Structure 1
Amino acid sequence: MRRQAPVWQAPWGDVYVTGYDLVSSSLVNRTLSHVPPVGEVAEPHSAMRDWLMYQEGAAHAALRQALQQPFVGKGAAVLRPVVADAVEELLGDAELSGDVDVVTAFTRAVPERIICRLLGVPDEDMSMIRAWSGPIRNILDAGFDDAFGDRPNPADEMSGYFVEHLRHLLAAGRMPPLLTGLPGLVDALGLKAAGRNIAFLAFAGHETTVHLIGSLLFHLAHQPAQWSALRADRGLAANAVAETLRLESPVQKICRWPLEPTAIAGHEIAKDQLVVLLIGAANRDPAQFPDASRFDLGRARQNLAFGRGAHVCIGRALAEMEGVAVLEAALGRWKSIEPVAWQWMDNSSIRGLDALTLRLTA
């Protein structure tokens, strides 16, 4: 597709964009809306309609400002100890050697524990976050009728939980690290919309990191020379995380809708026609990344895994911090990691491993 039809209209009408430059420019193209047009889906019921990723303009700017405060400035100093504690708890004392399914052992549990503690979710409720996340992931891949339709879905259940969670936090006057601006957020949005967006933060704030960590270990297990290079120079850990984000972008596609008839690379696209930006394909474009299928610790860190422009991922710093922390802990614990068995998820929107068994040698 990149070579023959970098802007390709499928027989069912959707337009797919694959090249790095085209996807990059489309992400910042203000004539491409983030919001599905009226009539694209049934009368909205789903809590997803209020999510940050489906807002734009002044509403998006205000919501983003309220949610991103803990991630910027001095926020990292508050987040880092929470990340370090979770990594130590799950990798520090555990007996992890021999053949281990690392997805079951820690690649999912670490990001779950971190996001729950940053949002003040009690440990006994963590299992519910996992139970909701899988079905939400599948709904996002199924299409907008399922995501935004009039039938209740797991995103509604998760949002209901967080509405009550925020109510209790406000009553107790307790503000967890990612909710320091909670009173202002609720004043601006109301409790219901605020709860829905904190549910979004809980889902997006850990789900993609789960897959980043799994894919990182997958590639390093297949390339022992790269593992040895990292053990010799831990300063390359951030490069390894960035290269994993490029090669196995957790978010594989982002959708846009033209606000008016427009053209991409000379291809005419009608108003409201669905445009699918294939992030995964763009990040493997050999015109941008020579030998693009190779995992390369020396490659420049720039890629589109977190998006670009006004909607760039607000949790980027946290995801990268978690990836580096887990990798540094693994490097200090195991001399070698070898691939034994693995299973990729059946999902075209989110790239990640359902299972990854590695032979861990201390």
Structure 2
Amino acid sequence: MVPSVDRRSVARLFSRLRTPDGQANPLPHYAELRSMGDIVPAPWGGHLVTSFGLCDHVLRNRSWLVPDSGWRARQGAATRWMAPSSQQMASTLPGLNPPHHTRARRSVGNMFDRKSLDGIKNSVERSTEELLDRLAESLKDGEADFSALVSEELPVMTIGEWLGLPTADYPLLRSLTHDQVFAQELLPSASQLAQSDAATRNLRDYFIALVRQRRRAPGDDPISSWIRTWDELEPHQDAADESVYRLALFVVLAALETTSNLLSTMVWLIAEHPRQMGWLRAYPEYIPGAVEEVLRYDSPTHVVSRIAGEDTTLAGVPVEKDQMVHLMVGAANHDPAHHVDPAVFDVRRKASHLSFSGGIHYCLGAALARLEATTLLTGVLNRFPALELSRTPDWAPRVAFRRLMTLPVVES
């Protein structure tokens, strides 16, 4: 029997999550949420899933769907789901259900397989060294913002070089990506949605123009390859170009926002645990495992939403067709039923997590994110033995998508 939960208590908990203290340490709030049950009524409707096992089940079970354009339209014209930015996200891979997802997913193949990563690795290593050189120069004057100097730069340099984008466009893409993500937040305000709508329009203009330019002058790059693929799948050129635009938009949004936060969070956690930093320096073969522990401890994405494809029950709770469940991944990754001492950050842990989602929507860029993170952490450990935080970082007041706004560091 599921215990009765006061929805006002849940609403207050989410309000506290958005405060500076809640952003700096959401774990006590997640523990409180988990104490209410594995599945908890959401104050705004639907349910919150807090346990690792249930979240994993929903992510892998194909009867649970993503909120696609059809579902969003059924919510009504006055809802957040009909905002232009929300509708645009429903047309990209994370917003598609089979068979549309299957078709789009097959068009890109295994985007970051071993062969592709081998080709990207040199670029990541070169960019990392360049950025760490800049950091070292900045640290000579005292405090430096690791987030602005390194974490925000490496993902856009990596994906920008891979896609063949002009380096002059990187600042614009970073800025638009930060604004666009509000459409994917848990409960965006009207002003945040308006910000996301404007960013989405600008991103559309940018990538539509890019696709047309690559069609006129194709090259040896992913976008040109996608154009050739979709020309075979779509009888009309405009439809093919629209599909390529959606792929390019998705890749850039996914690559920039979540990876930059992973990199900042990683350095924050390692700097907060100097003994573990020293241990990793002595045993660098454990760096990939340390990245997995970072992903478990503080994932870039703390909430993933799914829709019931039919009337069902989840942990004994009836869930009607079309009803939304929010998978509280940030809380589930700290489920004591799945992890021993989950509140302890331990780079030696064999960490399992849900931070790259699961099932058919498992993150396409997971391998690339891991490559960037392991390369950067290796470089930081080798070059900055005395790196430490100079003051408390700042977080954006978000719930679903974590973002470290600043990461002030010094070398002692």
TM range (shorter): over 0.9
Amino acid across the alignment from 1:136: Q
Secondary structure of the structure 1 residue equivalent to 2:390: strand
Q: Paired residue for 1:298, among 329, 343, 348?
A: 348
Q: Give a deviation string over 1:207-234, Cα, whole Å, max 9, x none.
A: 1110001011111111110110111111
1:186 Cα deviation from its structure 2 partner = 4.9
**CA distance in 2 between partners of 1:278 and 1:11 (Å):** 14
* Match of residue 326 from structure 2: 276
Amino acid across the alignment from 1:35: P
Which is worse superposed, 36-45 or 265-274?
36-45
* Match of residue 302 from structure 2: 252
Q: Paired residue for 1:153, among 175, 184, 198?
A: 198
* Match of residue 207 from structure 2: 162
Task: Answer yes or no: is 1:344 the counterpart of 2:344.
Answer: no
- Map 1:1-362 → 2, pairs under 5 A: 1-36=33-68, 37=71, 38-42=73-77, 45=84, 46-92=87-133, 94-97=136-139, 98-141=142-185, 143=187, 152-176=197-221, 180-188=225-233, 190-341=240-391, 342-361=393-412
RMSD: 2.2
Contact 1:162–1:195 (Cα < 8 Å) also in 2: yes
Secondary structure of the structure 1 residue equivalent to 2:110: helix
**CA distance in 1 between partners of 2:380 and 2:205 (Å):** 37
Which is worse superposed, 76-85 or 307-316?
76-85
Amino acid across the alignment from 1:108: E
Q: Matched residue pairs, number?
A: 360
Contact 2:218–2:224 (Cα < 8 Å) also in 1: no
1:267 Cα deviation from its structure 2 partner = 0.6
1:260 Cα deviation from its structure 2 partner = 1.4
1:63 Cα deviation from its structure 2 partner = 1.1
- Give unpaired runs (5+ residues) of structure 1: none
CA 198–170 in structure 1, closer or farther in 2 if over 3 Å, else same = same
Amino acid across the alignment from 1:359: V
**CA distance in 1 between partners of 2:362 and 2:51 (Å):** 19
**CA distance in 1 between partners of 2:345 and 2:262 (Å):** 14
**CA distance in 2 between partners of 1:273 and 1:356 (Å):** 39
How much identity, in percent, do the aligned residues show? 27
- Give unpaired runs (5+ residues) of structure 2: 1-32, 234-238
CA 108–148 in structure 1, closer or farther in 2 if over 3 Å, else same = closer
1:177 Cα deviation from its structure 2 partner = 5.1
**CA distance in 2 between partners of 1:222 and 1:152 (Å):** 37
Which is worse superposed, 92-101 or 231-240?
92-101
Contact 1:175–1:182 (Cα < 8 Å) also in 2: no
Secondary structure of the structure 2 residue equivalent to 1:2: helix
Contact 1:49–1:148 (Cα < 8 Å) also in 2: no
Q: Give a deviation string over 1:34-78, Cα, whole Å, max 9, x none.
A: 124131253574422211001011211121122343312411111
Amino acid across the alignment from 1:29: N
Contact 1:237–1:324 (Cα < 8 Å) also in 2: yes
**CA distance in 1 between partners of 2:223 and 2:269 (Å):** 31
Amino acid across the alignment from 2:272: H
Secondary structure of the structure 2 residue equivalent to 1:95: helix
Secondary structure of the structure 1 residue equivalent to 2:90: helix
**CA distance in 2 between partners of 1:335 and 1:67 (Å):** 41
**CA distance in 2 between partners of 1:86 and 1:180 (Å):** 25
Q: Give a deviation string over 1:229-263, Cα, whole Å, max 9, x none.
A: 11111111111111111111101111111121111
Contact 2:66–2:94 (Cα < 8 Å) also in 1: yes
**CA distance in 1 between partners of 2:145 and 2:189 (Å):** 35
Contact 1:251–1:305 (Cα < 8 Å) also in 2: yes
Contact 1:163–1:191 (Cα < 8 Å) also in 2: yes
**CA distance in 1 between partners of 2:179 and 2:304 (Å):** 19
Which is worse superposed, 94-103 or 122-131?
94-103
CA 327–179 in structure 1, closer or farther in 2 if over 3 Å, else same = farther
Secondary structure of the structure 2 residue equivalent to 1:302: coil
Amino acid across the alignment from 1:40: Q
Secondary structure of the structure 1 residue equivalent to 2:34: coil
**CA distance in 2 between partners of 1:145 and 1:59 (Å):** 30
Secondary structure of the structure 1 residue equivalent to 2:58: helix
Q: Give a deviation string over 1:291-344, Cα, whole Å, max 9, x none.
A: 101111111132110011110000000000000111111111111221222112
**CA distance in 2 between partners of 1:74 and 1:226 (Å):** 32
Contact 2:307–2:323 (Cα < 8 Å) also in 1: yes
CA 258–148 in structure 1, closer or farther in 2 if over 3 Å, else same = farther
Secondary structure of the structure 2 residue equivalent to 1:358: strand
